[in-house]
Amino acid sequence: MLYDVRLELHYDYKASVHGDRHLVRVAPISIPNAQRVIASSLSFEPRPEQETTFADYFGNLVTTIAYAGRHDHLDVRLSARVQVEDLARPVDLSPTLGGLKQELATLWSVAPDSPQHFLSASPRIPLALEITDYARSSAAGDQSVYATAMDLCLRIHRDFSYDKDATKVDTGPVEAFALKRGVCQDFAHVMIAGLRGLGIPAGYVSGFLRTIPPKGKPRLEGADAMHAWVRVWCGQHSGWLEFDPTNAMLAGPDHITIGHGRDYSDISPIVGVLRTSGGHTAKQSVDVVRVE
Amino acid sequence: MDKRNQRQVRKRGAPSLVADYKLLPGVPDEMIDAAGQIRPSWAPLISALEELGHEELGGRFERADQYLRDAGVYYRKYDGAEGKERAWPLAHVPLILDESEWLTITHGLTQRAELLETIVADIYGTNTLVQRGLLPPELIARNDEFLRPMVGVRPASGHFLHFCAFELGRGPDGGWWVLGDRTQAPSGAGFAVENRVATTRALSDIYGEMHVHRLAGFFRGFRDALTGIATDGRVGILTPGQHNETYFEHAYIARYLGFTLLEGEDLVVDNGQVMVRTVSGLQPISVLWRRMDASFVDPLELRYDSHIGTPGLTEALRQGTISMVNALGTGILETRAFSAFMPNLCRALTGRELELPSIATWWCGGAAERQHVIDNFDTMMVGSAFATGLAIEDQRGTVVGGALPEAERQALRARLEAEGGRFVGQEQVQLSTAPVYVGGKLEPRPMTLRVYAARTRDGWTVMPGGFARVGSTQDSTAIAMQRGGQAADVWVVSKQPVERVTLLPTEGEKLVRMSSGSLPSRAADNLIWLGRYAERCEAMVRILRAYNARLAEISNTDQAILKDTRAYLDGIGVDAEVPLPPGLLAAIDSAVHSASQIRDRFSPDGWLALTDLRKTARSFSQRVLPGDDATRAMTVLLRKLAGFSGLVHENMYRFAGWRFLEIGRRLERGIQIAHSVAWCTRKGAPEGALDLLLEVGDSVMTHRRRYAVSAGVNSYVDLLVLDPLNPRSVRFQIAELYQQLEQLPGGLEDGHLSMAAKAALTLDTELRVTEPEDMTTSKINRLGIEIGNLAGLIADAYFV
């Protein structure tokens, strides 16, 4: 599947800012056998005085920008052409939870992709008893880790309401869990917290999702959104598999990956440090267009 | 009985100091050997103390404490939301260690420091230790001190560790154990120096005779090493600021070694290069000796909620433009569970055994180890595997199984079974005891030893000394200072005379001059405010004194001059009805606060004068009555303020720092005088206002001499506004301001004046050509405002 992705982030500062610095993580990465970035360009307005790009610990592309002079707005523009492979639905070869724990005990690796990084609390995801209890009913019996993850994914979709106004970008999973509401980020955080509580390694995926307009309606420009879902380590043989609790499905050819992390904080689209007396307003628009 | 006979009497009987010294069963003592004899290395000290006698000793130890108070040595004790400053708790009797024993420690710690370097380089490099099964992956992957942004970043200096501290304890068999490694941002080296200075104040004669190894050589080596890795010769000490528990020490070390004390906001990262915001603009720096925990260093890539960091520092580290001492991420080596793996790591990496063993530690992530901890649950110290503090100091997180109520025992055991990887068990240490002087006698108290190691060009060196921490009771867990423990100096004694070293440059050594332009902007800002607040206090005190003197003479408080003066004081935030008005106390507090942020640029005497002023003012506020009493109190405060000003004026080197302090004083004095002249010479000012003005302006004599026949409003304006020779005239302040501004970086370059210098010169010129009769009240008021505007111009030029 070949896509053209366009993202625009726009920030208006009420009072002008200066001496600010930002980390931007919006450019998709190439993933062997799954996703290939054919072209990608990232630009900023006003033009930053300093700009560098590097790969972070988890292999995500990060661009640092810094401004010395004053400015009252910041535009981030990404356009990328990405080839996403349509992978066959995985056959469940994952171990049981007990088997998984044994595999983990003998997995002597802390490479960035090692599941060892994805087992405990992370900056935005505490391990909460109530979420673990909720997840536990997906692990009843002796089913596979894959089956547990899929069951939890479907239950979150069933039990939670998608509600843009219920949570904010810094809402934690405990609060979202209590509300049973939120957006993709909240659903992903809750699912990750639940899986880790059970001892199943789980991480956060940031990306884009192609939305298919209702029959007979035209596709609306900029109506797509950034998206987030979950990846789960299903044992040595199956490796990482991706689940989308917002849409009750496995991530598939419509999911375009920006990058991976333990939670939102590892792969948030933009973080910045600035001094200002006023607040700011933000706008975002995303277009995912299938090329072929 | 003469003095000689007294000595003999003492010598014949049992030595009174150690007569009741009762050894704890099964625990070695530093001073007394197993046979009950004073160890040879201690003998000269004990007999010397013995000879001095109780009274003399008391006096000498008081001198040591006095030194610490005078030097302002404190640490912060946390018992509420805001930590309080506490006097440094010196245990006066030093710990004596024989040189040969010191050598053992030195060898052991050198080996350990090198081993730690290898381990941390692997953790942030290729991670083979995990692959080889020498370190369990979860101790890294689940560790908050594992800083992922630092993986793959090679330190610019080539090394991760440059300065480490180790906590040692002597076990029942007499050998030393390493209780903990301090690699994050070890504190206390400066306190070790102050301990030494204070202790030798009390015992200088004994110290001189005992061949005690000096500390200065160690610091000199480390200073030269840091200067050596600084590509541009510039080294800074990065402090979290004055609220940190050991801020005093950061300021002390900065002053001692001649490094710049910096806070996160003093730094900015410009194109990958770390720069200091100075009064001469941005200046590069290439080595930061970090005294804050790594995760706070950069709010952008490390802890997002850090308010004390510098955005972009991680980027600078990636680009290799700055050396961090120690590298970010080295805190992971302090993880308590690592102690369990040190013996194996040492064998695997060096083929040798640890020369100084780690305290026996079992990580409960392993089945056999977990079982061992459960089997010995009652006598084990059980705590978090990821704890970084010493088990004996950790009051909340570490427990001894046997000391728990049954329900909690069961719960902890269950957790050990379920999630063992989160726990470690450590053997309960029986620490050796050392003598502490209590009420005229020596008593044995448990002790630990803190030792410092520094990397130099020739490898690791170990400070011959450090400090010993002794418990407040005989319980080993009462060693922490937060729990009443004390710190003693450590004397490593030699049989031969030792080399005397100082930090002063020796003959033939290249003299390094610090440039005056490297003053950080934040420090300059604080200096200006210190000058302003000190001067504001003086202005308030002078008017309050004049007011109270009149109040004492006139019983009617409704009299015009009193009402008028109250109104004036009210306008500057001072309630004259209160003898020591809160507005004045607040101004004094502000002066102390400004000074406290720049302790490294400030002489201990100046600091002492300022805190003494505050103490006096506070005690006055409890008891001083209006009128005569308050007049006298104000005279005392005025004298103390003059003392502070004198100390600063006479003793502070004329660096940029002094200039900013001076600018602050001149700005404030100019403003205060202009406003008081405008007030007292205004139309409708009550009778006596002009007299009061002269008194406040300290110009009574001069006025009488100069204007004997023609006194009138104009003569007052002439003397207090326009006179170029009266140090209390507005014009004098402006002329001084101009002088200082011209000398500042960028003040006068290629014949061009800075904006601030121009503005000062313009004011000066205006005053030169103005006649007293043209100086209307509104013009004088305007003058005060113009001077205030100068402050804004200075801030724009130097503090942005």
CA of B368 vs chain A CAs: smallest distance (Å): 15
Cβ contacts of B141 on chain A, cutoff 8 Å: 110, 114, 116-117, 119-120
pLDDT digits (tens, 9 = 90+) for A15-62: 888 889 999 999 999 999 999 999 999 999 999 999 999 999 999 999
pLDDT digits (tens, 9 = 90+) for B360-416: 999 999 999 999 999 998 888 999 999 988 877 776 778 888 888 888 888 998 999
| Residue A278, pLDDT score | 76
Q: How many CB atoms lie within 10 A of CB B348?
A: 13
Amino acid (1-letter code) at residue B168: L
* Residues 26-55 (A) with a CB less than 8 A from some CB of B: 50, 52, 54
Amino acid (1-letter code) at residue A208: F
The residue of chain A nearest to residue B135, with distances taken between CA atoms, is A108
- Written as six digits, the tokens of B770 are 């103005």
Determine the Cα–Cα distance for residues B627 and B551; give it in Å rounded to an integer.
5
Q: Walk me through the domains of chain B, giving residue ranges and CATH numbers.
A: 90-336+431-493 (no CATH), 360-427 (3.30.1490.270), 519-652 (1.20.120), 654-800 (no CATH)
Across the interface, of A56, A271, A273, the residue whose CB is closest to B149 is A56
| Residue B255, pLDDT score | 85
| Residue B391, pLDDT score | 79
User: A21–B141: do the CB atoms touch at under 8 Å?
Assistant: no
C-alpha B636: how far from chain center: 29
Asked if A172 and A155 touch (Cβ cutoff 8 Å), the reply is no
Beta-carbon-side half-sphere exposure of residue B782 (alpha carbons within 13 Å): 8
Determine the Cα–Cα distance for residues B330 and B150; give it in Å rounded to an integer.
10
User: A108–B137: do the CB atoms touch at under 8 Å?
Assistant: yes
Task: Assign a CATH topology to domain A97-265.
Answer: C8orf32 fold (3.10.620)
Band of the pLDDT at B149, cuts 50, 70, 90? very high
Is A23 in CB contact (< 8 Å) with chain B? yes
The residue of chain A nearest to residue B271, with distances taken between CA atoms, is A50
In degrees and rounded to multiples of 5, residue B232 shows phi and psi of -115, 15
User: A107–B137: do the CB atoms touch at under 8 Å?
Assistant: yes
| Residue B6, pLDDT score | 40
Determine the Cα–Cα distance for residues B593 and B529; give it in Å rounded to an integer.
10
Q: Higher pLDDT residue, A290 or B800?
A: A290
| Residue B478, pLDDT score | 64
The answer, yes or no, to whether residue B601 has pLDDT greater than 90, is: no
For chain B, the distance separating the N- and C-terminal CA atoms, rounded to the nearest angstrom, is 73
| Residue B440, pLDDT score | 86
Give me the helix-helix angle, B755-768 and B777-798, nearest 10°.
Answer: 160
Band of the pLDDT at B709, cuts 50, 70, 90? low
For A9, counting Cβ atoms within 10 Å of its Cβ (0-12 exposed, 13-18 middle, 19+ buried), the class is buried
Determine the Cα–Cα distance for residues B601 and B595; give it in Å rounded to an integer.
9
Cβ contacts of B136 on chain A, cutoff 8 Å: 108
User: B142–A50: do the CB atoms touch at under 8 Å?
Assistant: no
Across the interface, of A57, A116, A272, the residue whose CB is closest to B138 is A116
Amino acid (1-letter code) at residue B293: D
| Residue B477, pLDDT score | 65
Amino acid (1-letter code) at residue B36: G
Question: Could you report the average pLDDT of every consecutive run of 10 residues in chain A (292 residues)?
Answer: 95 90 96 95 96 96 94 96 90 94 94 96 95 95 94 97 91 96 96 97 96 73 81 96 94 94 96 80 91 80
**Which residue in B82, B163, B88, B242 sits closest to B600, CA to CA?**
B242
Least confident of A206-210, B228-232, B691-695: B228-232
Beta bridge partners of B97: B492
pLDDT digits (tens, 9 = 90+) for B525-561: 999 999 999 999 999 999 999 999 999 998 788 899 9
Q: What DSSP character marks residue B133? A: T
- Written as six digits, the tokens of B740 are 């200082």
User: A119–B141: do the CB atoms touch at under 8 Å?
Assistant: yes
**Which residue in B29, B93, B24, B38 sits closest to B434, CA to CA?**
B29
What percentage of chain B exceeds 90 in pLDDT?
A: 67
| Residue B8, pLDDT score | 37
Beta bridge partners of B168: B178, B449
- Written as six digits, the tokens of B513 are 């001059």
For B527, counting Cβ atoms within 10 Å of its Cβ (0-12 exposed, 13-18 middle, 19+ buried), the class is buried
| The B273-278 sheet, strands edge to edge | B267-270, B273-278, B281-284
Q: Is the reported ipTM for this assembly greater than 0.90?
A: yes
Across the interface, of A23, A108, A110, the residue whose CB is closest to B133 is A108
Where are the strands (E) in B478-596, listed by range? 486-493
Across the interface, of B130, B270, B299, the residue whose CB is closest to A109 is B130
In degrees and rounded to multiples of 5, residue A115 shows phi and psi of -60, -15
C-alpha B481: how far from chain center: 16
The residue of chain A nearest to residue B312, with distances taken between CA atoms, is A21
Q: How many CB atoms lie within 10 A of CB B704?
A: 11
Band of the pLDDT at B18, cuts 50, 70, 90? confident
Beta-carbon-side half-sphere exposure of residue A228 (alpha carbons within 13 Å): 25
pTM of the predicted model as reported, rounded to 2 decimal places:
0.88
What percentage of chain B exceeds 70 in pLDDT?
A: 93
Determine the Cα–Cα distance for residues B744 and B521; give it in Å rounded to an integer.
12
List for chain B the helix, strand, coil content (%; round to 5).
50, 15, 35
Which helix (H) or strand (E) segment holds residue B645: the answer is: helix B628-651
pLDDT digits (tens, 9 = 90+) for A153-168: 999 999 999 998 999 9
User: A50–B272: do the CB atoms touch at under 8 Å?
Assistant: yes
List for chain A the helix, strand, coil content (%; round to 5).
20, 40, 35
Q: How many CB atoms lie within 10 A of CB B629?
A: 15
Asked if B348 and B128 touch (Cβ cutoff 8 Å), the reply is no
Q: What stretches of chain A show up as alpha helix (H) in DSSP? A: 97-105, 129-136, 145-159, 173-179, 184-198, 235-238
CA of A52 vs chain B CAs: smallest distance (Å): 9
**Which residue in B518, B580, B525 sits closest to B547, CA to CA?**
B580
For an interface test with A, the pick among B301, B314, B799 (most A C-beta atoms closer than 10 Å) comes out as B301
Listed in order, the ranges of chain A carrying CATH 3.10.620.30 are 97-265
| Residue B397, pLDDT score | 79
* Torsion, Cα of A257, A263, A268, A272 (10° steps): -160
| Residue B14, pLDDT score | 44
Class of domain A2-85+269-290: mainly beta
Cβ contacts of B312 on chain A, cutoff 8 Å: 21, 64, 66
User: B272–A117: do the CB atoms touch at under 8 Å?
Assistant: no
Mean pLDDT of chain B: 89
- Mean pLDDT confidence for B414-427: 92
Amino acid (1-letter code) at residue B782: R
Secondary structure (DSSP) of A175-235? HHHHHTEE-HHHHHHHHHHHHHHHT--EEEEEEEEPPPPPTTSPPPTTBB-EEEEEEEE-H
Cβ contacts of A107 on chain B, cutoff 8 Å: 137
What is the SS3 assignment for A257? strand
